[in-house]
């Protein structure tokens, strides 16, 4: 699902009108009619109680007038609460305002504090509220009667349908301008807006639907939109069928370099995630001291002991052995539980630059990489880096708070400097590519906030790389699968207290859902 900024959507609207000669009035009619049909499908049982439409200035309000007209045609009692004076309506919105006036639909102008009581009374008795106050053009704090109206709507018992975007929400950031409508359903026009997929905007959207209004496919294709929401539909379309004559060699061999004294669990979870993602074979390279422990933990994976330091981490003497182990491997996963010292730094940086197969790097591998991304940038094969916000801060030389302030910009910055696909973990995981593409993940829940989840994700990505998915597809697909498995598990166990290993174990259910 493509995601657009306010400027991109405005450009598409204008091009449709000017270059394709499709009048704005038709676009507005299509929008209003489409939302009317959504309302009838989803809220038919409430229509007998009447519908209140909150109308603000601009084309969002114009859409509200069209919705009112279609509801009225169906015999639904409609009340329009207009929060802007007539002079604020222009063009297509004014045309539709004049139509509802001529139809003598009930209109209450709410232009000052004296009208607040009437507004409150109308909202309280409504069976359904349609929010057509502000659209994608809002750029400043919501105050006065507009803020009060939003607060009244949110406090009511009636479900709310938001037109295009919940009023008060930033189209580009998902942040509320002071206050915002808490919608039960958002009907967005033509393409989903970026802010609807970003935290905290996702908390205001409710059920998201796209209404086709007549923007030509050609215009969308030529707009070079690089941001998408990765959802279940995309997941289903991307997942490849398994060949009926496939065998373990068909599905690739992943080498995992992970674990150290006291951190064998991380290595085991990486292997477990890869196997559950469908990798044909997994081999874990680990320090000699912990190899027996990992062999005990891993029934379905193989282990290889490597020279170790006195502290129980992989030694730099292991480099030629690791390079030999890479023969016939399809991908390498490196980092979880490796430990931190100069020898680990030497091993990781050497492998990131020279290994001739795709690499997924996480955890300690990212820490030793630091702000010098040149080993990754010089690599001849794809690299995937999957930091959490703290690791991202170390990679960029900033604070975690700065990373969280603009997660997309942070992910793009690292992708650009490292020439790698970047997965910035957290609520609304961001996947970024060096060419500027961004995918926002739509799956996952707070139950994933426990140890080992990132290790499983490393394994999942490695598993899909081993099966031949390219780095961009493997990263997006894995992030969604990881979260989607957690979501399905949470339906059974609740969204806290389940384990990273359980998320991996649930994954096979997804292939047939």
- pLDDT tens digits for 147-203? 999 999 999 999 999 999 999 999 999 999 999 999 999 999 999 999 999 989 999
Cβ–Cβ under 8 Å, residues 214 and 16? yes
Residue 263 has pLDDT above 70, yes or no: yes
Cβ–Cβ under 8 Å, residues 319 and 347? yes
d(CA 265, CA 424): 23
| Residues 200/203/204/207 CA torsion (nearest 10 deg) | 130
Buried-exposed string 415-449: b where 16+ CB fall within 10 A, e elsewhere: bbbbbbbbbbbbbbbbbbbbeebbbbbbbbbebbe
d(CA 426, CA 410): 13
Residue 512 has pLDDT above 90, yes or no: no
How many angstroms from the chain centroid is the CA of residue 373? 26
> Can 3-224 and 236-510 be said to share one CATH topology?
no
Q: Could you tell me the pLDDT band of residue 295, with boundaries at 50, 70 and 90?
A: very high
Residue 113 has pLDDT above 80, yes or no: no
Contacts of 99 (CB under 8 A, 6+ apart): 65, 69
Higher-confidence residue of 512 and 450: namely: 450
d(CA 333, CA 358): 9
Q: Average pLDDT, stretch 67-90?
A: 95
Sorted by where each begins, the domain ranges of the chain are: 3-224, 236-510
Output helix, strand, coil percentages for the chain, rounded to the nearest 5. Answer: 50, 15, 35
Cβ–Cβ under 8 Å, residues 113 and 121? no
Task: State the first-to-last Cα distance of the chain, in angstroms, to the nearest integer.
Answer: 20
Residue 3 has pLDDT above 80, yes or no: yes
CATH 3.40.50.620 fits 236-510, yes or no: no
Residue 119 has pLDDT above 70, yes or no: yes
Beta-sheet pairing, 331-334 with 253-257:
parallel
d(CA 125, CA 246): 62
Angle at 204 between CA 201 and CA 208, to 5 degrees: 90
DSSP string, 231-250: -HHHHHHHPPPPPTT--TTT
d(CA 359, CA 350): 12
d(CA 409, CA 376): 19
- Fold for the domain defined by 3-224: Rossmann fold (3.40.50)
Contacts of 209 (CB under 8 A, 6+ apart): 38, 185, 186, 187, 188
d(CA 304, CA 307): 10
The pLDDT, as a whole number, for residue 307 is 97
Dump pLDDT digits (tens) for 199-246. Answer: 899 999 999 999 999 999 999 999 999 999 999 999 999 999 999 999
Beta-sheet pairing, 421-424 with 430-432:
antiparallel
Q: Average pLDDT, stretch 93-103?
A: 96
| Residues 90/130/134/113 CA torsion (nearest 10 deg) | 90
How many angstroms from the chain centroid is the CA of residue 453? 18
The pLDDT, as a whole number, for residue 116 is 83
The pLDDT, as a whole number, for residue 22 is 97
The token duo for 14 is 């204008």
The pLDDT, as a whole number, for residue 270 is 99
Residue 451 has pLDDT above 90, yes or no: yes
Which SS3 state, helix, strand or coil, does residue 283 take?
strand
Q: Average pLDDT, stretch 479-507?
A: 96
How many angstroms from the chain centroid is the CA of residue 324? 39
Q: Average pLDDT, stretch 381-394?
A: 98
The token duo for 323 is 């390079």
Q: Average pLDDT, stretch 288-304?
A: 96
Which SS3 state, helix, strand or coil, does residue 155 take?
helix
DSSP string, 429-472: -EEE-TTS-EEEE----GGG-STTHHHHHHHHHHHHHHTT--HH
Bridge partners, 131 (sequence order)? 54, 162
Bridge partners, 360 (sequence order)? 333, 384
Dump pLDDT digits (tens) for 347-367. Answer: 999 999 999 999 999 999 999
User: How many CB atoms sit inside 10 A of residue 107's CB?
Assistant: 17
The pLDDT, as a whole number, for residue 8 is 97
Cβ–Cβ under 8 Å, residues 123 and 112? no
Cβ–Cβ under 8 Å, residues 426 and 389? yes
Residue 23 has pLDDT above 80, yes or no: yes
Q: Average pLDDT, stretch 40-44?
A: 97
The label of the residue with tokens 């996952």 reads 444
What are the residue ranges of helices labelled H in 45-90? Answer: 59-73
Total length of the chain: 513
The pLDDT, as a whole number, for residue 513 is 67
Question: Please, what is the angle between helix 59-73 and helix 91-102, to 10°?
Answer: 30
DSSP code for 54: E
Residue 112 has pLDDT above 90, yes or no: no
d(CA 424, CA 457): 12
d(CA 293, CA 302): 12
């Amino acid at each position: 699902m493509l995601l657009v900024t306010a400027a991109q959507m405005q450009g598409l609207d204008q091009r449709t009108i000017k270059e394709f000669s499709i009048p704005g009035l038709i676009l507005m009619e299509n929008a209003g009619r489409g939302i009317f049909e959504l309302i009838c499908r989803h809220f038919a049982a409430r229509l007998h109680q009447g519908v209140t439409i909150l109308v603000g200035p601009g084309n969002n309000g114009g859409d509200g007038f069209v919705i009112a007209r279609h509801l009225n045609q169906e015999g639904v009692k409609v009340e329009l609460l207009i929060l802007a004076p007539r002079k604020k309506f222009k063009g297509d919105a004014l045309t539709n305002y004049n139509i509802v006036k001529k139809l003598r639909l009930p209109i209450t102008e709410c232009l000052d504090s004296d009208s607040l009581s009437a507004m409150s009374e109308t909202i309280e008795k409504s069976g359904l509220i349609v929010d057509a106050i502000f659209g994608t053009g809002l750029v400043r704090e919501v105050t006065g009667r507009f803020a009060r109206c939003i607060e009244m709507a949110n406090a009511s018992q009636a479900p709310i349908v938001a037109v295009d975007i919940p009023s008060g929400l930033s189209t580009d950031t998902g942040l509320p301008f002071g206050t915002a409508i808490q919608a039960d359903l958002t009907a967005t026009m033509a393409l989903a807006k970026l802010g609807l997929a970003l935290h905290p905007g996702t908390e205001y959207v409710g059920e998201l639907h796209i209404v086709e209004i007549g923007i030509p496919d050609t215009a969308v294709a030529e707009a070079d939109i690089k941001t998408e929401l990765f959802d279940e539909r995309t997941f289903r379309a991307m997942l490849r069928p398994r060949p009926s004559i496939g065998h373990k060699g068909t599905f690739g061999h992943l080498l995992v370099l992970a674990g150290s004294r006291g951190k064998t669990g991380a290595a085991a979870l990486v292997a477990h995630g890869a196997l559950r993602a469908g990798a044909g074979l997994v081999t874990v390279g680990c320090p000699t001291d912990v190899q027996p422990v990992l062999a005990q933990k891993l029934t379905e994976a193989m282990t290889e002991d490597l020279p170790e330091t006195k502290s129980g981490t992989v030694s730099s003497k292991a480099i030629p052995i690791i390079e030999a182990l890479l023969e016939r491997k399809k991908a390498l996963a490196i980092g979880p539980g490796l430990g931190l010292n100069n020898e680990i730094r030497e091993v990781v940086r050497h492998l990131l630059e020279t290994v001739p197969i795709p690499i997924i790097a996480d955890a300690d591998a990212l820490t030793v990489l630091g702000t010098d991304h040149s080993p990754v940038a010089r690599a001849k094969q794809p690299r995937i880096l999957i930091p959490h916000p703290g690791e991202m801060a170390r990679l960029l030389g900033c604070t975690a708070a700065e990373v969280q302030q603009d997660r997309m910009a942070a992910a793009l910055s690292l992708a650009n400097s490292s020439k790698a696909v970047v997965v910035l973990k957290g609520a609304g995981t961001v996947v970024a590519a060096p060419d500027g593409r961004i995918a926002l993940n739509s799956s996952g829940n707070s139950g994933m906030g426990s140890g080992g989840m990132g290790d499983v994700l490393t394994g999942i990505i490695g598993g899909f790389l081993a099966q031949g998915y390219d780095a961009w597809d493997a990263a997006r697909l894995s992030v969604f699968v990881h979260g989607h498995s957690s979501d399905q598990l949470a339906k059974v166990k609740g969204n806290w207290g389940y384990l990273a290993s359980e998320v991996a174990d649930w994954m096979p259910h997804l292939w047939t859902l």
